[in-house]
Structure 1
Amino acid sequence: MDLGIDRQALVPVVQQIVTAVAQWIRNNQVSPGTRLPSVRQLALDNLLSQSNVIEAFERMVAQGVLAHRQGAGFVVAQPPVTTECQWYEGAELTWGAFADNPLGELKLGCGWLPDAWHESDDISYAIREVTRTDTAGLFNYSTPLGLPALREQLLRRLTRIHIATRVDCILTTAGASHAQDLLIRVLLKAGDSVVVETPGYGNLYRQLAFHGVQLLEVPRTPGGPDIAALEALLQHHRPKCLFVHSLYHNPTGSSLCRAVAERLLELARRENFLIIEEDVFGDLQHPSCTRLAALPHEGRVIYVASFSKTLSSALRVGYLCASATLVTQLASLKTLTGLGTSRFAEAVVGTLLANGTYRKWVQRLRKRLSMEMAATLQVLEDEEWEVFAVPAGGMFLWARPGAADHSRLQACARRLGVLLSPGALFNPTGEYSEWLRINVAYAADQRALALLRAMGPARSTSTVLKTTGL
C-alpha cells in the first residue's frame, strides 16, 4: 500500500497516514473484517517508523474505522448501525456536520474554512496575552452586554464600515445563530409572519419554525430579494420582520445592490416592519458592497455579525447592533437563558482586533478566497455548469451541472468521497433542487475537481477518475 507520504508538507506524518488509509478503504470499498498490511510491512514499504504507523492505526481504532484483533493485527471495523443522511449539510440540517470525519470525506458544500487555512499562532498568542493580563477572563462571567473592551473595538469596526451607532447599542452573542434566536424570542410570537429569502440559511428556517412563526418566501436574485415578489406579498400579509443576508449571501454568494437596498428600506417604512440584516461574511467585503445598516434607516435595521466564519467557530463570538431599548431587552434574555457569553473568548477576539492581527488575517484570507473563486469559476465555465451569480468575494458559489442527472451526481460524489450540500437544504420546505452550494476554499482538491469535470457535457465518470488518478 503506497501511502504517498509528503515529508515536506505541514500536515503531520501520522495524520497523513490516517488520511491515506481512510481513502484506501473508501476508494476500494473494503469490506469490514478485511485485514490491513502489517505495521512492519507498511512502515517498510513507505520508509516510515513503525511507531508512526502504530499511532495512526490506534487513532483510527479510536475513531471506529479500524479494529484490533488479537493475532490478526488491524482490520477494517464493522460500521455502527446508524440512521445516516444521504446528503451532507453544514449547520443547516444535521448534527452530523459537526461530528468527526474518520474517512476524510471532502465537505465541498460546508459553511466554513478548511482547518489547514487557519493560522493558529495568532490565536495562541492572543490566548497567552489574555491569560497573562486578564486573569478575570479565566474565572468570571462577562457583563450582560458583553466585554466592554470588545464592544469598544466593535464600535470602531462599525464606524469604519459607516454604521452609525453607540457602544450601548452593541450586544455580544455566542455567534450569529444565538443573536437570531434572541431576536426571534423577543420580537416574535407563535403565529407571527416574517419574510425570508429562498434559497437561504436553513438553520434560520428551523429556528423560526420551532417558535411557530410563519415563513413568507421571497426569491433571492443576484441583486438581493426579488422586489416585485416582495411587493406582491405585502399586499396580502403584514410581516413583523424581514431577514436578509446582504453580503455574500448564503448559499448563492450574491450581494445586495444599492437600488434593492433602498427599496427595501422604503417598504420597511411604509409597511412598518423591521429588517434583520445578517453580515457574517462582511469582513470579506468588496468596496462596492452595500449594507442596509450603513444607509439611513430610522432604526428599522438590526445588524447581526460574527467571527465564526472568518476567525474561529470554536470561540463562538458574535454580536448585534440595535436600539438601546431593544439591546437592554435582549441582554436580559441573554442573561436569563445562559448567564451571558464567554468573557475569555471575547477577550481573545478583542485582543486580536486591538493589535491589528485580525485585520491583517482577513486581508490575506480575502486575497486567497479571491484566487480560489476565480479558479473555481473557470472550471465551472469549462465544464458548462450554470452559475447563479459571479460573487464579488466570499466563499460560496451556487451552481448546477448543465447536463448530468441527479443520480449520476450522487453516485460520482459517493465514489469520490465528496459530501454535498444540495439545494433542497436551503429551501424552507425541503423542495428538490438541482442547485448545489460550493465552498471555493475546498474546490481545488482533486476530488472536487474530478466531480466538477465528471459532470461536464458528454463526460464519462470513469474516464475522468482514471485521468485524475482517483
Structure 2
Amino acid sequence: MDTAAHRLSRVDACIDWLRTRIDARVFRAGARVPSVRELARTLGVSPFTAADAYERMAAAGLIEARRGSGYYVRDVAPAAVRVAAPSSHVDLKWLMQQMLDSGRAARGPGLGVLPPAWLDGDALGATLRAIGREGAGRLLEGGTAQGYAPLRDVLARRLGTFGIAAHADQIVLTTGITHAIHLALQTLVAPGDTVLVLDPSWFGALGMLALRGARVIGVPYTPDGPDVAALEAIAQESRPRLLLVNSVVQNPTGLALDAQTVARIVDIAHKYDFYVLEDDVYADLCDPALPRLAAHDGLRRTIYAGGYSKTLAANLRVGYLACGEALAQAIADTKVLTGYTTPEVNERALHKLLANGRYGRHVTALRERLDTHRRRALKLIEREGFAIYGRPRHGLFAWVDMACDTNELALAGRDLGVLVAPGSLFSPAQRTSRYMRYNVTTTADSALRDLFDAARRLARV
C-alpha cells in the first residue's frame, strides 16, 4: 500500500507518528509520551527501532529524556526543527478536507454517502441530455425565489407518501440539504439564541450553528431515541428557538424514532414555543411508513428538510424545505437576499427524474441492497469484538464503540488510507469519544482489518 507511512523508513515512521500527535496536542508540552516498549508494541516495530526514533527526536529538541522516568514533550520545540506534515488536528475542517481531497478515491467507514457505483448515473446522464435537446429557453434566465414550480408540485405529492400534507407554496428549493438548514438558521436564529441538538448530532449542523453564533445545548440520545424528559427540562430552562433532529436514520447512530417519541417531541415544541427542524435527507433509504415529526405536527411548528444528493448524485445539489406558508415566504426572502436563486437546470433535471417511475425502482433497489450490507456489516463489527449503539434497521450508519480515542484512530486511519469519522466531531461539546460513525457499505478489505487492529492496539495502550 503506497501511503506516506509505508514510504518512510521504520524509524521515520515512528517519528512521524509521534510528531503528528504532538502537533495535534494529543501529547501536550510537558506530557510523558509512551515508553519505548509501548511505542514498539503500538507500531509493530522492534524496541531498538523505537529507541532510535526517540533518540533522534531528543537530538532534534522535540522531546527530552528524564532519567528513570521516560521521555517528555519539550515545552518549546525550536522552530528550526519543525517539519511540514499533513494537518493532524482532528476537527470538522480536517474531516471535510480528507473527504474532498480524496475525491472518488475516498474510502472507509467515515464516508457519509453511498458508493458512486450504487447510483444511477445512466439515468442522470440521459436526463441532462434530454434537457439539452429542449433548447436553452428558461435555462438562460434566472430562477424564481421558491424554485422551479413543477418540481415543487411533485415534491408536495411525494411528501404525501410520508403522511406530510403540504402544497407547492409551502416548499422552498435549495442547493442541497446543507443550504436548506443554513437558510432555516439564517431566518429563525439570531446570534445568542439557544438551539437544541441531539447528542451525538451531525457535525455539519454543529458547524453551521457555531458560525451563526448560537448557544448550542445537547439533548442526550439513547439507544431508544432522544431522552424526552431531559428535552423538556432543558426546554423549560433555556427557552430554545429551535431543535434540530433526524426522525429516521439519525446521523450518526442510524436509529429511528418511534411514534410515541415523535408525539412527545411535538408536544414539547408546542408547549415551550420553539420550532423543530427535521432533517430527513436519508428519507428514501428507509421505509416511508416510519413516523415523521412533520406528519404528526402538520408543519405548524416543524420545518421539514429533504434532498436528493444521497440517492441520485452528490453533484445534483437540490434540496428543499417544507413549512408553514408564511415561514416559507420568509425563508424564500432570505434565500434571495443571501444567494439569489437556485440553479434551475438542476431542478429541472430532478423534476424529470422524479416524474418517471425509474427513480422509485432505483430507491427500492437501494434499500434492499443496504439491508443486505447492513446485516453483514453489523455481524463483522461484532465478530471483531466491537459494540454497536442500538441496532440500526434503516439507512447506512451505525455508531460503533471502538474502545479507544477515535481521534487517535482517525489519525491511524489516515496513515492506512482509510477515512474515519471520530465521535468527537458529533459532540456539541467536541468531547473526546470512543465512538465512530460507521458506513455499513464499507468494503471488508485488508485496510479495514488493519483499522480494527489499530483500534485494538490503541485500546491496549
Counterpart for residue 87 of structure 2: 84
CA distance in 1, matches of 2:406, 2:185: 36
- What residue in structure 1 maps to residue 416 of structure 2? 416
Mark the CA change 1:167 to 1:432 in structure 2 (over 3 Å): closer, same or farther: same
Match of 1:45 in 2: none
Q: 1:104 to 1:130 in 2, by over 3 A?
A: closer
- Structure 1 unpaired stretches of 5+: 1-22, 32-79, 461-470
TM-superposed deviation, 1:451 = 2.6
Q: How does 1:97-112 map to 2 (within 5 A)?
A: 97-101=98-102, 104=105, 106-112=107-113
Change (3 A) 1:263 1:25: closer
Query: Corresponding residue for 2:51?
Result: none
* 8 Å CA contact 1:372, 1:443 repeated in 2: no
Name the SS of the counterpart of 2:334 in structure 1: helix
Give, as a single letter, the amino acid of the residue that structure 2 aligns with 1:437: R
Find the counterpart in structure 2 of residue 285 from structure 1. Answer: 286
Return the alpha-carbon distance in structure 2 between the equivalents of residues 108 and 116 of structure 1: 16
Q: Post-superposition shift, 1:328?
A: 1.0
Report the equivalent of 2:246.
Answer: 245
Gapped regions of structure 2 (runs ≥ 5): 10-82
Corresponding residue SS for 1:368: helix
Higher helix share: 2
2:245–2:276 Cα contact (<8 Å) kept: yes
Aligned partner letter, 1:96:
Q
Amino acid aligned to 1:429: A
Are 2:146 and 1:168 aligned?
Answer: no
Question: Following TM superposition, by how much is the alpha carbon of 1:296 offset from its aligned partner in structure 2, in angstroms?
Answer: 3.6
1:374-453 aligned at under 5 Å gives the runs 374-402=375-403, 409=409, 413-452=413-452
SS of match in other structure, 2:191? coil
Q: 1:234 to 1:405 in 2, by over 3 A?
A: closer
Residues 196-222 of structure 1 show CA distances to partners (whole Å, capped at 9, x for unaligned) of 111001121121122221112101123
Q: Partners in 1 of 2:426 and 2:160 — Cα distance? A: 33
State which drifts further: 383-392 or 100-109: 100-109
Q: CA deviation at 1:149?
A: 1.5
Look up the SS of the partner of 1:235 in the other structure: helix
Q: Is this contact kept in 1: 2:407–2:424, CA < 8 A?
A: no
Matches for 1:204-283 after TM superposition, within 5 Å? 204-283=205-284
Distance 1:265 1:290 in 2: 12
SS at match of 1:28: helix
Structure 1 stretch 103-112 or stretch 114-123: which is displaced more? 103-112
Amino acid at match of 1:356: G
Q: Is the contact made by 1:246 and 1:277 (CA closer than 8 Å) also made in structure 2?
A: yes
Deviations 1:407-451 (A, max 9, x none): 984575345321211100101221100000011122434422443
Residues 194 and 412 of structure 1: is their aligned pair in 2 closer, same or farther, counting only changes over 3 Å?
Answer: closer
Q: Determine helix, strand or coil for the equivalent of 1:106.
A: coil
CA–CA distance in 2 between the matches of 1:175 and 1:129?
A: 23
Distance in 2 of aligned mates of 1:428 and 1:458: 25
Counterpart of 1:14 in structure 2 is none
- The CA RMSD measured in Å over matched residues stands at 2.8
How far apart are 1:373 and its partner, in Å? Answer: 0.6
Q: Deviations over 1:363-404 (max 9, x none)?
A: 1111111111110100112122111121121011100135x6
Structure 1 residues 88, 97: closer, same or farther in 2, change over 3 A? farther
Letter in 2 for 1:84: S
CA contact (8 A) 1:155 1:166 kept: yes
Q: Aligned equivalents of 2:320 and 2:375: distance in 1?
A: 31
CA–CA separation in structure 2 for the residues paired with 1:312 and 1:303: 21
Residue aligning to 1:336: 337
Compute the TM-score of the two structures, normalised by the length of structure 2: 0.78
Secondary structure at 2:102 match in 1: coil
Answer yes or no: is the 8 Å Cα contact 1:276–1:303 preserved in 2. yes
Aligned to 1:10: none
Does the 8 Å CA contact 1:372/1:440 hold for their aligned counterparts?
A: yes
Looking at structure 2, the residues matched to 243 and 269 of structure 1 have their Cα atoms a distance apart, in angstroms, of: 15
Distance 1:311 1:229 in 2: 37
Q: Deviation per CA, 1:22-41, whole angstroms, max 9, x where unpaired?
A: x335573257xxxxxxxxxx
- Mapped to 1, the partners of 2:259 and 2:345 lie a distance apart of 38
Question: Aligned in 2, Cα 1:297/1:355: closer, same or farther, shift over 3 Å?
Answer: closer
Decide which moves more: 131-140 or 262-271: 131-140
What is the CA–CA distance in structure 1 between the aligned matches of 2:135 and 2:257, rounded to whole Å?
40
Partners of 2:292 and 2:8 in 1: CA distance? 51
Aligned length: 388
Aligned counterparts of 1:123 and 1:278: Cα–Cα separation in 2: 24
SS at match of 1:319: strand
1:299 and 2:300 correspond: yes
Decide which moves more: 444-453 or 195-204: 444-453
- For the residue of structure 2 that corresponds to 1:330, the secondary structure is helix
> What is the match of residue 193 of structure 1?
194
Aligned to 1:365: 366
Please state whether the residue corresponding to 1:337 is helix, strand or coil.
Answer: helix
Q: Following TM superposition, by how much is the alpha carbon of 1:298 offset from its aligned partner in structure 2, in angstroms? A: 6.3
CA distance in 1, matches of 2:293, 2:101: 38
Deviation at 1:116, TM superposition (A): 2.7
8 Å contact from structure 1 (residues 131, 138) kept in 2 = no
Which SS does the other structure have where 1:363 is aligned?
helix
Residue aligned with 2:221, SS: strand
Q: Contact conserved, 1:106 with 1:447, CA < 8 A, in 2? A: no
3-state SS of the aligned residue for 1:107? coil
Counterparts in 2 of 1:97 and 1:413: CA distance versus 1, 3 Å: closer
TM-aligned CA distance change 1:382 to 1:150, over 3 Å: same
Q: Secondary structure at the match of 2:421?
A: coil
Question: Which residue does 2:324 correspond to in 1?
Answer: 323
- Rounded to whole Å, the distance in 1 between the matches of 2:185 and 2:91 is 27
Q: Which amino acid aligns with 2:431?
A: E
What does residue 185 of structure 2 align with?
184
CA distance in 2, matches of 1:188, 1:93: 27
Mapped partners of 2:84, 2:142: distance in 1: 41
Q: Secondary structure of the residue that 2:320 maps to in structure 1?
A: strand
Structure 1 CA distance, aligned partners of 2:394 and 2:138?
35
